[in-house]
Chain A
Amino acid sequence: MQQRIVGTSSVRKEGAAKVCGTARYIDDMALPGMLYGATVRSSIPRGRITKIEFDLEIPWHEFTIVTAADIPGSNSIALVQNDWPCLAEKMVNHFEEPILLLAHPDCHLLPQAVSSVRIEYEPLPSIHSIAESERQHPVVWGTDNILKSYLMEKGDVDAAWAHADYIIEGEYETGAQEHLYIENNGVIADYSEDAGVTVWGSMQCPFYVHKSLMHLMALPEDKVRVIQVETGGAFGGKEDYPSMIAAHAALLARKAARPIKLVYDRAEDMAATTKRHPSRTRHRTAVAKDGTLLAAEIDLALDGGAYSTLSSTVLSRATIHAGGCYYWPSLRVRAHAFATNTPPHGAFRGFGAPQSLFAIERHMDRIAAAIGFTPEEVRRKNFLRPGLTTATGQEIPPGVDLDHLLTRALEASSYHEKKLRFEQENPRRALKKGIGIAAFLHGAGFTGSGERRMRSIASMDATPEGNLRVLVSSTEFGQGTNTILCQIAAEALGIDYDAVCMAPPDTHVVPNSGPTVASRTAMVVGKLVASAAVEIKRILIDSGYLHEPYITADFQQAASAYVKDRGSLCAEGHYQAPPNVYWDDDTYHGEAYGAYAWAVYVAEVAVDTVDYHVSVDDFVAVQEVGRVINPVLATGQVEGGIAQGIGYALYEKVVWQNGHMSNNQMTNYIIVTSQDIPPIHVYFEEVPYSYGAFGAKGLGELPIDGPAPAILNAVSHATIEDFCAIPLLPEDVMAKLVRSRFQVGEEVSA
């Protein structure tokens, strides 16, 4: 059916407020009588707290001081396991661990007060890498430093080695990555005996914060209220940590009996909050002479930091994506998340998949080189196709066509012509050019039975004026949630986009449509919104208030009249799993995701042999994401993801000193500027997915998966060297190139 609104570029719902500077973010707000909060943190990576002293020159009676003893409920941030303390009591397990909280009416007095709390420790040995954690010396978490492990198996891997023509091995590493949303984390909290605790904040998941506060404050559901305000970027970085900040602000508000604003500055946000998990992946692959992949043994390790937080779910996605978009007759993935004494690593766009896909896509190029195939050929030979099954046994549905995506990407990038030309010209040039491919997939929605367990609800209602509202806990932080959900609702209602608006993301107002993560908003929540909308329309028609055909004004009049007569008009959409979907958490078998998005990216790079800098000169991104709801927003998501991916590959290095981020300033953590970004060419193929809203699948995370492997493949092509670790900085490029071919220094001869 022809759609009127879905598929067009409706303007961003909250866009006018954003371009005018009237959108209100947390630091733009204040409550009467509000105090400012600050956090006293650990200054060692691991040890026992032996003494806390307060310097005498500070007038402490003016400050509110909160310690773990002030926590009415349980001293932990509720996520998957509850091992993450809200405030450290006796032990600290990483730098920047919160120990004590302060509040004062004058925000300028807090920094000095924070540094005037003297904490003494008995230091204990600490560990700072996957390798150290594996050695279990010392054990810093549980009994073996292992936060979580999975074993995923298909076929008979052990039997495959004997008749393999080639066995190819490789080890790949990825570094931590900082989200660097331009708005730092922050919340405002208020508390009263009657109303309980109310928190306004920059966040992705109001109900995560809600749940965590109930445990911490020992309050019933209705005494905790969480309201998301305009959020200035998140990328996963505001999935778990806002629960921590909200907890701190709530504790201060309760003790001070005043509202508290707790907003981090950049240095604190970078040093203390989560990053993308560093990883190490080992591949061992059996390949036949004709290029067929026979079997793989993949050993996957993530550095989870000091507490388990979200590592188990990140590891799960990494495990499932480890084999990439290829068919494996046999595959074994052993995956572990290790504890180290760094601040916990957390959710970041891609959620484990970028690490795994970097490894497999770099490895595919090395397989191609080892068996004398081109990178294109070996991929084509082994692509997942309709009817084949993934490593979890999920059957690929009709319509998936990686061959076509690859062909289109190669054409759009003039791949063959450039590859040949670069190879001919490079020997004579100081600027070595290269071109590289990455083919990949990204599962949309929660892994496995996650959606079924979540049982999300979305609803719609009408105001007395007859405006239609979408009620969800799915939040806007730049990706376009508000816009696409209103588009979907308007489409389903058969009215104008402007007649639909979003209810405030307030846990007292909206139902729990689940967290805003995992590329699930368009596909899963959008579908629920669409069914709530259909229900609203049915109610109005069945009750005789509305007659088809109608225009927007008719609909609004009908809704308004209905509300006046009957008190309210509202409908809910409940999650229903697509039929024949089955998942077994123990064996890791079944439908891992409702749907996958597919993509092929091509990066063109230049490696300068004077300063060893790699620049990305051109980028082509072809993807199949189901129905594209809003082309301008979708293109922006892809371009933004690619920019982050370029940073991940070439610029963004977290410099660790003993588990402490030492470059925690924007000046020293390098993201791309307008002068580092190549032209990006974005193409969509649309194969509608029947169980997503108007055929949509997930899109938000996909574009971070491809750039790093495509770029490193291109750099390896340009330099005829193997680069297997990111971030790849000029210093690393130099280390390989200087001792080889590009040594300079002969006399100039005319």
Chain B
Amino acid sequence: MTNQRITMTVNGVDRTIEAYPMERLLDVLREKLQLTGTKEGCGEGECGACSVLLNGELVNSCLVPVAQAANSRVITIEGLGSPANLDPVQEAFLRYGGSQCGMCTPGMIVAAKYLLNHNPHPSPEEIREGLSGNLCRCTGYMRIFEAVEMASRAQRGKSAT
């Protein structure tokens, strides 16, 4: 099998890379595009550490052959905000203790972002369900729930004013 040229829009920028079609999107992001914010926890779709948005849909990038992402839009954690310019969800995770070791954090924040995109004011049950594909070994999830709730509330505040 030979390398193919694959083009994707990653965090708003068109990128073209050479890759084998069965390379995992996860590896392409991390190794070819140096976007190491997306993590690998299991490599089998179980932990969600590799979560990214593919054409706006939450996916586990360890289960996406890169050929299936050709000509798609990909958003990774790096596309949400930067330390100088945090996304409200990142801000809430920071402030309310949603991140401890930080390994689940990028995936968790991408999943939370996806949840809030579809459901700006989720109930506690909806938050639990929306994040159930993202395992965290450190926090016991409580601070994460609170962070998502606070981010949602901040949005409500904004839309009210």
Direct contact of A and B (CB under 8 A): yes
B95 contacts A183, CB within 8 Å? Answer: no
Chain B contact-residue range equals 35 or more
- Give the distance to chain A from B107, nearest Cβ to Cβ, in Å: 9
The answer to whether residues A183 and B141 also contact, given A16-B86, A666-B44 and a CB cut-off of 8 A, is no
The reply on B118 being an interface residue by CB < 8 A is: no
- The proximity string for B residues 86-115 relative to A, scoring 1 for CB distances below 8 Å and 0 otherwise, is 100011011111111111111001000000
B143 contacts A635, CB within 8 Å? Answer: yes
Residues on the A chain within 8 Å of B47, using CB: 182, 666
CA distance A594 to B23 in the complex (A): 54
- Give the distance to chain B from A258, nearest Cβ to Cβ, in Å: 18
The reply on A348 being an interface residue by CB < 8 A is: no
Main secondary structure of the interface of A (DSSP, over half): loop
Q: Please report which residues of chain A, range 207-242, place their CB below 8 angstroms from some CB of chain B when the two chains form the complex.
A: 230-235
A21 contacts B46, CB within 8 Å? Answer: no
Stretch at the interface among A7-15, A167-175, A320-328, A487-495: A7-15
- Give the distance to chain A from B138, nearest Cβ to Cβ, in Å: 5
- The proximity string for B residues 24-57 relative to A, scoring 1 for CB distances below 8 Å and 0 otherwise, is 0000001000011111111110110100000000
Stretch at the interface among B64-72, B126-134, B152-160: B126-134
CA distance A183 to B134 in the complex (A): 14
Most buried by B among A12, A21, A233, A234: A21
Residues on the A chain within 8 Å of B93, using CB: 15, 19
- Give the distance to chain B from A197, nearest Cβ to Cβ, in Å: 25
CA distance A679 to B47 in the complex (A): 22
Residues on the B chain within 8 Å of A640, using CB: 100, 137-140
The reply on A675 being an interface residue by CB < 8 A is: yes
A478 contacts B97, CB within 8 Å? Answer: no
The reply on B13 being an interface residue by CB < 8 A is: no
CA distance A675 to B76 in the complex (A): 25
The reply on B83 being an interface residue by CB < 8 A is: yes
- Give the distance to chain B from A585, nearest Cβ to Cβ, in Å: 35
The reply on B77 being an interface residue by CB < 8 A is: yes
The reply on A479 being an interface residue by CB < 8 A is: yes
CA distance A9 to B96 in the complex (A): 9
Stretch at the interface among A187-195, A441-449, A641-649: A641-649
Of B41, B138, B142, the contact of A680 (CB 8 Å cutoff): B142
The reply on A665 being an interface residue by CB < 8 A is: yes
The reply on A749 being an interface residue by CB < 8 A is: no
B135 contacts A671, CB within 8 Å? Answer: yes
B83 contacts A17, CB within 8 Å? Answer: yes
Residues on the A chain within 8 Å of B105, using CB: 18-19, 21
The reply on A563 being an interface residue by CB < 8 A is: no
A21 contacts B106, CB within 8 Å? Answer: yes
- The proximity string for A residues 249-276 relative to B, scoring 1 for CB distances below 8 Å and 0 otherwise, is 0000000000000000110000000000
Residues on the B chain within 8 Å of A683, using CB: none
The reply on B82 being an interface residue by CB < 8 A is: yes
The answer to whether residues A632 and B97 also contact, given A20-B90, A182-B39 and a CB cut-off of 8 A, is yes
The reply on A424 being an interface residue by CB < 8 A is: no
- What residue in chain A is nearest B98 (Cβ atoms)? A19
- What residue in chain A is nearest B105 (Cβ atoms)? A18
Residues on the B chain within 8 Å of A644, using CB: 137, 140
B99 contacts A15, CB within 8 Å? Answer: yes
The answer to whether residues A183 and B101 also contact, given A19-B109, A20-B86, A635-B143 and a CB cut-off of 8 A, is yes
B94 contacts A11, CB within 8 Å? Answer: yes
CA distance A742 to B47 in the complex (A): 36
A183 contacts B103, CB within 8 Å? Answer: yes
The reply on A639 being an interface residue by CB < 8 A is: yes
Of B37, B42, B76, B131, the contact of A666 (CB 8 Å cutoff): B42
- Give the distance to chain B from A601, nearest Cβ to Cβ, in Å: 13
Of B137, B139, B141, the contact of A180 (CB 8 Å cutoff): B137
**Closest A-B pairs by Cβ, 7 of them:** A21-B37, A478-B101, A18-B102, A232-B103, A639-B140, A643-B140, A21-B77
Q: Interface on A for B, CB 8 Å cutoff?
A: 9, 11-12, 14-25, 27-28, 179-183, 230-235, 265-266, 477-480, 632-633, 635-636, 638-644, 665-667, 671, 673-675, 677, 679-680
5 contacting pairs across A/B (C-beta < 8 A):
A19-B102, A20-B77, A21-B106, A666-B47, A674-B132
